[in-house]
Amino acid sequence: MVQIRVAAMAVAASVMIAGAARADQAPDPAWQTVLDEAKGETVYFDAWGGSQNINDYIDWVGDEVSKRFGVTLKHVKLDDTAAAVSTVVAEKAAGKNDGGSIDLIWINGENFAAMQEQGLLAKGFATDLANWRYVDTKNPSVTVDFTLPTKGQESPWGGAKLVFFSDTARSGPVDAMPKSADELLAWAKAHPGRFSYPAPPDFIGSSFLKQVLIEKVADPAVLQKPVDEASFETVTKPLWDWLDAIQPVLWRSGRDHPQNYPAMKQLLADGELDIIFAFNPAEASSGIAAGELPDTVRSFVFSTGTLGNTHFVAIPYNSSAKAAAKVVANFLISPEAQLRKEDPRYWGDPTVLAMDTLPQEDRDAFAEIDRGIATLPPSKLGPVLAEPHPSWMNRIEEEWKKRYGG
C-alpha cells in the first residue's frame, strides 16, 4: 500500500511539472494575446464559500495563476449564487456595462438560465480556451446545462452526482439501505427522526426534491421542457404526496431542516441523522479524511438512478477583467488542476476531462488517485438522471415554501 502511494505521488508530481509547462505554453498567437492582456488583472470570482476544502482549493488556484500568469484571484464567498446574478442584473439596470464588480461566477442550472436569458453573460469563450482540447465533449452535460445549450458561455469545471451515505456502525450495511425514493420513505417511517434534507432554496435540498420528482412523475420526459402552468399541479402531485407522507417522520418532525450540506454532515457525525446525501461521490471520503465523519461511513445510490450534472464557470458580460477570467477558467480545466480537484485529499470533485485526450502520464496519475474508502467507483454509481429544465427548480422551490416553509 505504501509503495502504491509513493508511486502515485511520484506520478502526480511529474504530472504537475508537465502540467505547469503545458499551462504556461501558448498553443497559438490568439491565446498568447489573452495571456498578455491578463497580466496584472484582478479576477473577482463569486463562488459558494460553504466548504473549507473547496475554499482551500480556490486559494491554491489563486496562488498558481498569480505565479504563472500574473493574475490576482479574489474569492468572493457566496451563500447563494443567485446573489451574484442579482448583482449583475442591478448593474445592467444601472447602465454599468463595463467595469462590473464580478469577473467569474461558479454557476449552473437556473442561475445560468437566468443570466443567459437576460443577456448577462460574455459571448462564447469556453471553446476558445487553450485547454478545451482535453474536455470530455462526448458528455452532453458539458455543452448542455439543465437542457439549455451553453453556447460556449460556460466552461465546465466539475461533475456532480447525487450520492447517499450512512454510518454503518449505527445503521448497518449499506446493502440494506433504501434503493429508491419509495424505499427511503418506508425506511424513514420505520426510523422516525433519522432523516432530513436542507430546506430549499438551498441547492442540495432543491436537488433532493428534483430527485424525488423524477422518480415519482408519471412521464419524466415532461421535465425536459419548461413548466406548463396548466399542468404543473397534476405533474407535481406525486412529489407533494411523497413529501406530505415523510414530513411527520423527518428530523424534528419536519418543523426544522438543516441549513445546508455541512449542517447535515454535522448531524450525521453527531448521531442525529442516519442517512444524508451530497452532490459529490467523494464527499464521504473527504469528510473521513478531514476528521469530520467517522471512518465507518459508507456511500450508496438508488438502483433506479440519481441526479447528475456538470457545474461551470461563466464570465459576466460587463466583467472588468475578461482576459484574466479566461486565463483562470483555462487553468481550471488543465490536467494538473483537474487532477488535484479529483483527489479527495483536496476536494474529490469528478473531472470533466476525457482520459483519451490526455498524455499517458496524466492518465496514469488520474488512475492512481486514492479516492478513499467510502467513495464508490464510477462503475457502481448507477444510472444518471438528467436535470429537469431550470424552470422546474424555481417553481418547485416556490411551491415548497408555500407548503412547508412556515
- Complete domains list, the chain, with CATH: 2-158+311-370 (3.40.190.10), 161-308+383-404 (3.40.190.10)
**Res. 22: pLDDT tops 60:** no
Residue 302 forms beta bridges with which residues?
none
Rounded to whole angstroms, how far apart are CA atoms 197 and 204?
8
**Res. 6: pLDDT tops 60:** no
* Mean pLDDT for all residues in the chain: 92
Residue 276 forms beta bridges with which residues?
165
Rounded average pLDDT over 270-290: 93
Joined together, the cell numbers standing for residue 387 give: 436535470
Rounded average pLDDT over 89-110: 97
**Res. 46: pLDDT tops 60:** yes
Q: What is the model's pLDDT at position 50?
A: 87
Q: Which residue has the higher pLDDT, 82 or 4?
A: 82
Q: Cell match 449542517: residue?
A: 263
Give residue-wise pLDDT tens across range 297-320.
Answer: 999 999 989 999 999 999 999 999
**Res. 17: pLDDT tops 70:** no
pLDDT class of 406 with cuts at 50, 70, 90: low
10-14, 272-276, 402-406: which range is least confident on average? 10-14
**Res. 357: pLDDT tops 70:** yes
pLDDT class of 125 with cuts at 50, 70, 90: very high
Q: How far is CA 55 from CA 30, 129, 161, 229, 357, in A?
A: 32, 24, 20, 39, 29
Q: What is the model's pLDDT at position 274?
A: 97
Rounded average pLDDT over 189-196: 98
Rounded to whole angstroms, how far apart are CA atoms 114 and 110?
6
- Give 207's DSSP letter: H
Exposure of 164 in the CB half-sphere (CA atoms within 13 A):
27
Q: What is the model's pLDDT at position 344?
A: 83
Helix (H, G, I), strand (E, B) or coil at 174: helix
8 Å CB contact between 86 and 118: no
**Res. 2: pLDDT tops 60:** no
Rounded average pLDDT over 147-171: 96
Q: Which residue has the higher pLDDT, 61 or 304?
A: 61
**Res. 384: pLDDT tops 90:** no
